[in-house]
Amino acid sequence: MSARTQTFLWIGQRASAAVLALCVLVHLCTIIYAVRGGLSAAEILGRTRGNAAWLGFYSVFVFAVAVHVPIGLRSILAEWFGWQDESRDLVLWVLAAVLAMMGIRAVFGVFG
Amino acid sequence: MPREESQTVLDVVTYVQRHLDASLAYRFACRVGMCGSCAMTVNGQSRWTCRTHVSRVADDGRLEIAPLHNLPVVRDLVTDMTEFFDKWAKARGRFTGTRSRHEDFERVPPAGRREEVDAGIECIGCGVCYSACDVVSWNPDYAGPAALNRAWTLVQDVRDAATIERLRAVAGDAGAHACHTHMSCTERCPKQISPTAGIAGLKRAIAMAALKGEL
Ligand code: SF4
Ligand code: FES
C-alpha cells in the first residue's frame, strides 16, 4: 500500500472521529431525552418513521463507523498480532462493507 | 560500591569494569552529554548515564543497569545501533541543499520556521527515545522518534529542497502515522526535545501534501 493511501486512511480516521464525536453526543442526548417517562418501541418508531432528518443523521453515523472501525482495527491487528499483510486489509474491507450494510439496514428498519 | 559526591551512573559502571569485572562491555566517549553513546536503562528507564546522578535515580540505594530496549544487544551494556541510524537514512535525514560553494550564504530569518528547527536540532543520537517508545517495540518497522524528529527539522529548514520526497519517506504505517502520541520520547529525551511535536507537525505536513495531490 502506497504512502499516499496510508495517509488518506489516516485522514479518514481523523475525519470520521470528528464526525463520530458529534454523532455520539447527539445520540446520547437523544437517549437521555427519550427515556424520560419510560421507553417504548412505539415511541421510538413514532419519532423515526418517515423522518428524513433522523434518516440522514443515522446514515452519516453508520458511514462514519464503517470508516473508523476498520482503520482502527488495522493498527491493532498489526501491533498486537503482527498481522500486516494484504490479507488483513482485504478482511477489513469486508468488515467495512458488513458494518455499513448492517447499519443502513437498521436505519431503514426504523425509518420505513 | 563506594558512594561519591555527584557520582553518575556512568561512574558506577566504570567502577565495576575497573575494579570488579574487567570483562564488562559498555560504551561512552564524551562524559559530558554531547556524544550520545552512553545511554542505558537504569532501574528500567532509558537514560544518558554520564549525566544521571546516582542520588537522583537510586531506589533504596539500588541500581539496576541494563542495555537499551528495542535494540539488539551486542554484549553486556552495548547495543547494536545500526537499525536506529539506518532508519534516519530511510527517513531522508540528510540535508539536500541547492547552492554551491560559489554562491553567497543563504540568509535564514531566525523567527518562524527556523524556531521549529532549533527546537529539535540538538539531538545527540543517544537512542533513549527509541528505547522508550512503545510503538517501536510493537512495530519493528517504525522509524522511531529520533529519525522522525530529524526529518521534521529538515522539513522546516527553508534551505532544504527535498521536502516532498522526505514527507513521502516518513508517511504511513512505518512512519509518522504509526505514532500514538504516548509521548514517552518527549518525557525521556535528555535534550528536552519533543519528537512528539515534530511527528505531529509531520502528520499535518503530510496530510496537506496528500490533499494537494503532491504526495
Ligand atoms: S531525540 Fe532526544 S532521546 Fe532521541 S536520540 Fe535525540 S537526544 Fe536522544
Ligand atoms: S558519554 Fe557522551 S553523552 Fe554520555
Q: Are residues B67 and B92 in the same domain?
A: no
pLDDT bucket at B111, cuts 50 / 70 / 90: very high
Task: Please determine, for residue B33, whether its predicted confidence score (pLDDT) is greater than 90.
Answer: yes
Residue-range definition of the domain harbouring residue A50 = 3-111
Q: Are residues B101 and B182 in the same domain?
A: yes
Q: What is the pLDDT of residue A10?
A: 97
Q: What is the pLDDT of residue B213?
A: 95
Residue B135 neighbours by CB under 8 Å, 6+ apart:
A79, B142, B178, B179, B180, B182
Query: Of all residues in chain B, what percent carry a pLDDT higher than 90?
Result: 100
Binary contact (B207, A11; C-beta < 8 A)? yes
Cβ contacts of A78 on chain B, cutoff 8 Å: 138-139, 173
Task: Please determine, for residue B159, whether its predicted confidence score (pLDDT) is greater than 90.
Answer: yes
Task: Please determine, for residue B39, whether its predicted confidence score (pLDDT) is greater than 90.
Answer: yes
Binary contact (A7, B210; C-beta < 8 A)? yes
Q: What is the pLDDT of residue A37?
A: 79
Q: What is the pLDDT of residue A112?
A: 84
Specify the ligand 1 atom closest to the Cα of B130. 4
Identify the domain boundary among B20, B46, B79.
B79
Bridge partner list, B8: B53
For chain A, which residues score pLDDT lower than 70?
none
Binary contact (B211, A11; C-beta < 8 A)? yes
Q: Are residues B119 and B206 in the same domain?
A: yes
Q: Are residues B73 and B162 in the same domain?
A: no
Of the listed ranges A25-34, B7-16, B71-80, the least confidently predicted one is A25-34
Q: What is the pLDDT of residue A91?
A: 98
DSSP single-letter state for residue B92: T
Among residues B96, B93, B75, which one has the least CA distance to residue B84?
A: B93
- Ligand 1 pocket test target in B41, B128, B179, B186 with most atoms within 8 Å of CB: B128
The pLDDT of B8-24, averaged and rounded, is 98
Q: Which amino acid residue places its CA nearest to atom 1 of ligand 2?
A: B31
Q: Are residues B18 and B106 in the same domain?
A: no
By Cβ distance, the residue of B173, B203, B215 closest to A78 is: B173
The interface predicted TM-score of the complex, written ipTM, equals 0.86
Q: What is the pLDDT of residue A32?
A: 92
The answer as to whether B3 is a domain residue is no
**Scanning the structure block, which residue is given the C-alpha cell 446520547?**
A28
- Ligand 1 pocket test target in B121, B149, B152 with most atoms within 8 Å of CB: B149
Please tell me which residue of chain B has the smallest CA distance to A6.
B172
> How many domains, chain B?
2
Work out the mean pLDDT of chain B and round it to a whole number: 97
Residue-range definition of the domain harbouring residue B48 = 9-79
Cβ contacts of B168 on chain A, cutoff 8 Å: 3-4
Burial classification of residue A38, based on how many CB atoms lie within 10 Å of its CB (0-12 exposed, 13-18 middle, 19 or more buried)? exposed
The answer as to whether B90 is a domain residue is yes
Q: Are residues B13 and B36 in the same domain?
A: yes
Q: Are residues B172 and B118 in the same domain?
A: yes
Task: Please determine, for residue B132, whether its predicted confidence score (pLDDT) is greater than 90.
Answer: yes
Distance B207 CA to ligand 1 centre (A): 25
Binary contact (A6, B171; C-beta < 8 A)? yes
Distance B53 CA to ligand 2 centre (A): 13
The pLDDT of B125-132, averaged and rounded, is 98
Instruction: Calculate how close chain B gets to A36, using CA atoms only, in Å.
Output: 40
> How many domains, chain A?
1
Q: Residue B142 to residues B51, B74, B171: CA-CA distances in angstroms? A: 28, 21, 11
Task: Please determine, for residue B29, whether its predicted confidence score (pLDDT) is greater than 90.
Answer: yes
Please tell me which residue of chain A has the smallest CA distance to B142.
A79
- B74/B129 Cα distance (integer angstroms): 19
Which CATH number covers residue A20?
1.20.1300
Give me the sign of the Cα torsion angle B179, B180, B183, B188: negative
